[in-house]
Amino acid sequence: VRYYRVAANTPFNNSLLTYKSQEIFNLGDIVQVTVGKRSIKACILNEVKSDELESDSGFEIKEVEKIDDDLFSFSKDHLDFLTWAAKYYHYPLGQHLFDILPKAMKRAPKIKSELGKNKDLSYDLTDEQKEALCKIRPSINKFDKFLLHGVTGSGKTSVYIELLKDSFENKKNALLLIPEINLTPGLINTLREYLPYQIHSYHSAVTNSQRDALWRCLNKEDTPYLIVGVRSSLFLPMENLGMIIVDEEHDGSYKQSDRMCYNARDLAIKKAHMSGCPVVLASATPSLETFFPCHEKDRQYASMKKRPSTFNLPEIILRDKRVEQVGFDDLAWPFLKESLDEIQEVINKGEQAVIFVNRLGFANYIQCHGCGHCFECKNCSLSLKYYKSKNRLGCQTCDYSTPLPPSCPQCGNLKLLQKGYGTEKLEEVITSVIKGARVARFDRDHIKTFNKLTSILDDFNKGESNILIGTQMLSKGHNFKNVNYVLVMGIDSQLNFPDFRSSENTYQLLTQISGRSGRFSNYGKVVVETFDPENKIFNLIKENNFSDFYKNEILVRKTLNLPPFSKMCTLYITGKNQNKVSSYSIEIEKLAKNLSAQHFKRIDVLGARPTFVEKRANKFTWLILIRSADVASLHNFINTLENNRKKEYSLGFKVDIDPQVIL
């Protein structure tokens, strides 16, 4: 009889269990095992010799139920990578394996994908593009990390295409990571035109049966493939990788915030390292974590400061909201009159305008004029937004929604004030004030399907609509031909966000948005309405002065000992009982502080406190922030903490390594 260590799809004991069988299993095989009274899937990790078994563990080792020949098996290399990731992010390996594996299909459909057309680029590369290629090409057959720092519209895609062609020549597969499905159609079509690869895209809209088919067919054919996909594509069973590109590497959507809290950009570097291939991180606004290590070494840093066309970057204008006082009752509110006049001019000229705002709905919250009562969600510690089209109040984070009452439920006052604004409000104002406006809205609220998204963009590109009002979704990747005017509203709330990355995020967002203006003209304009026009960050964006922004920001990070000068980790404690959550969090904080005082001098434990929104969908969450001077201490510390904490099964305990936002 043989004994096997397996990673099972279960959270306890870090998912690692031992089973026996007469049969010979290989590493990576997927088997069915009994745990308690139920049967679950598990992955064979290694054989354990009978004399190495812990005889005192008190468990009677059970028999493996069966192996299904039809099931997928993990290769050693793939499993090594997944194991590394699970360890790094302190997440049970077994759970991770079955989080990423598509639910097995009875009868997997044939994968259909056509070969790319392999056309030559129809234009010459710029000197900067050639230079970037020269830096990266010497490393084409080994691991190295590059930052491709190119302004919006500098033609990063052409560089990708050349690099991917090289990789194809070497008969290697490749991976191109993109932040969201949003911008795939245009990009994929371009790649299909110019590349010989067989191209597969992988994102949330790919059905389970298609996923299953892809997992099985990869590496089975001779033609090299290119995967273009979102963060989870990183876990596909890719072999023989020759190139990994991370597009818009600074983008927050590379970070997963539930289950295993990984950052696909960081894991892409590890994957490239383990595959012995180069990884190219590309962005117009690199994260400090990427820029800091790369820009020092000239070899790893390629910059493209010019657009290949003769068109200049747009002019950025700051408009002081303190100067002109537009009353709440004014028809123009919340716009400044000057901005509206400009939009009218744009429309009169037959051009198009884009308006960006970072909030949804009509009013951000409703307050009673009589008693000051604010309408809050009954499930969350958040105020309700007002949606005028539905005449309802709705919650951002749970599905609670209620009709707007005619009067205040506290005092009966009939005057309910609408505070703050979102896309819906802006749409109404623009429609009523601008003559000839044909407005389309571009936000999560209005766009539920991929078809809707493409149809709104098509209409706008055809000129059937001429003003596009939208949120973050609008800032990324789109190439508008007839837009030379972009208006940015409500950036102040972004800048004053209580997170240490808020300046960095604002810089990135504004730079991306301004990249939507004047792509095909010489008079592109971006207007930013703000109460704080003196803020240094605006001038740096205006001058497209990344290096000064970087110098300022890196100084702040260094002074306050924040990443990239330290490693961070947040622990989240969640539960339905507020008292239990708070007392357990304080208990963990004490344990953590004792550990750090006695054994971990390089670790800081920063308070136990409720999260910014303490109650979400009737669950309370507290957090403890851990900061470490180095990675190794952080991992030792978290492991020790996890092994020594008193388990509290009614509460959730989540570890988030390298958190993206700390709220």
The one segment of 56-64, 114-122, 518-526, 559-567 that binds DNA by CB under 7 A: 56-64
Among 10-18, 396-404, 464-472, 607-615, the segment contacting DNA (CB under 7 A): 10-18
Q: If DSSP codes are grouped into helix, strand and coil, which group holds residue 2?
A: strand
Q: What angle do CA 240, 76, 204 make, to 5 degrees?
A: 70
For the CB of residue 439, give the shortest distance to DNA in the complex, in Å: 44
621 lies in the site for DNA, by CB under 7 A: no
Q: Which two tokens stand for residue 231?
A: 């963060």
Residue 37 near DNA by CB under 7 A = yes
Q: At residue 256, what is the residue type?
A: Q
Stretch 285-304: interaction string toward DNA, x if CB under 7 A: --------------------
Q: Which stretch binds DNA (CB under 7 A): 36-44, 273-281, 494-502, 613-621?
A: 36-44
CA–CA distance, 628 with 634 (Å, rounded to integer): 6
Give the shortest CB-34-to-DNA separation in angstroms. Answer: 6
Q: What are phi and psi of 397, to 5 degrees?
A: -105, -20
Helix (H, G, I), strand (E, B) or coil at 212: helix
Binder among 26, 59, 87, 350 for DNA (CB under 7 A)? 59
Minimum CB distance to DNA, residue 648 (Å): 8
- Rounded to a whole number of angstroms, the minimum distance from the CB of residue 122 to DNA is 52
Q: Which DSSP letter does residue 481 get?
A: S
Q: Which is nearer to DNA, 94 or 394 (CB)?
A: 94
Tell me the per-residue interface mask from 399 to 438 with DNA, x by CB under 7 A, - otherwise.
----------------------------------------
Q: Is 194 in the site for DNA (CB under 7 A)?
A: no
Provide the CB-side half-sphere exposure for 12 (13 A, CA): 5
What 8-state DSSP symbol labels residue 631?
Answer: H
* DSSP string computed for 519-573: TTSS--EEEEEES-TT-HHHHHHHTT-HHHHHHHHHHHHHHTT-TTSSEEEEEEE
Task: Candidates 27, 61, 105, 453: give the one binding DNA (CB under 7 A).
Answer: 61
Binding segment for DNA (CB under 7 A), chosen from 51-59, 82-90, 342-350, 356-364, is 51-59
DSSP codes of every residue in 344-365:
HHHHHTT-EEEEEES--SSBSE
Q: Which residues contact 543 (CB under 8 A, 6 or more apart)?
A: none
For DNA, give the closer residue by CB, 35 or 111.
35
Distance in Å, CB of 85 to DNA, minimum:
19
Distance (Å, whole) CA 365 – CA 394: 10
Q: Which is nearer to DNA, 59 or 531 (CB)?
A: 59
Judged by CB under 7 A, the stretch of 17-25, 452-460, 482-490, 626-634 that binds DNA is 17-25
Question: For residues 33-71, b (16+ Cβ closer than 10 Å) or e, as one string?
Answer: beeeeeebbbbbbeebeeeeeeeeeeeeeeebeebeeee
Q: Is 62 in the site for DNA (CB under 7 A)?
A: yes
Stretch that binds DNA, among 54-62, 154-162, 466-474, 599-607 (CB under 7 A): 54-62
Cα separation, 268 vs 265, in Å, equals 5
Residue selected from 137, 463, 650, 663 as contacting DNA according to rule CB under 7 A: 650
**19 touches DNA (CB under 7 A):** yes
Closest CA relative to residue 96, chosen from 256, 208, 260:
260
Q: What number of helices (H) and strands (E) belong to the chain?
A: 17, 27
Pick 463 or 652: Cβ nearer DNA: 652
Q: Binding of DNA at residue 13 (CB under 7 A)?
A: yes
Site for DNA in 216-255 (CB under 7 A): none
Indicate whether 328 belongs to the interface with DNA (CB under 7 A): no
Let me know: does 423 contact 471? Beta carbons within 8 Å.
yes
- Our finding on whether 646 is near DNA (CB under 7 A) is no
Q: How far is the CB of 659 from DNA (least distance, A)?
A: 21
- Residues composing the chain: 663
Piece in contact with DNA (CB under 7 A), picked from 16-24, 184-192, 347-355, 617-625: 16-24
Contact present, 285 and 250 (Cβ < 8 Å): yes
Residue from 7, 15, 17, 603 in contact with DNA (CB under 7 A):
17
Residue 198 is given by DSSP the state E
Residue 58 in contact with DNA, rule: CB under 7 A: yes
The residue from 55, 57, 559, 579 that contacts DNA (CB under 7 A) is 57
**556-595 positions binding DNA, by CB under 7 A:** 576-577
Query: By rule CB under 7 A, what string of x and - marks binding of each residue 492-531 to DNA?
Result: ----------------------------------------
DSSP letters, 612-626, are EEEEETTEEEEEEEE
Residue 278's nearest CA partner among 171, 147, 188 is 147
User: Which residues in this chain contact DNA in the complex, by CB under 7 A?
Assistant: 10-13, 17-19, 33-38, 57-62, 576-577, 649-650
